[in-house]
Amino acid sequence: AEDFISSIMATEQIDTRDVQDWCNWPRELASEFISLLVRKNALVRQSASSYRKTPAFIQLLRGIRHEDIARPTHIPEVVEDEF
CB 70 within 8 A of CB 2: yes
* Amino acid type, 72: P
pLDDT of residue 18: 96
Q: Residue 80 above 60 pLDDT?
A: no
pLDDT of residue 73: 56
pLDDT one-digit tens code per residue, 10-53: 999 999 999 999 999 999 999 999 999 999 999 999 999 999 99
- The string over 37-73, giving b where at least 16 C-beta atoms fall within 10 Å of a residue's C-beta and e elsewhere, is beeeebbeeeeeebbebbeebeeebeebeeeeeeeee
Grouping H, G, I as helix, E, B as strand and the rest as coil, residue 52 is strand
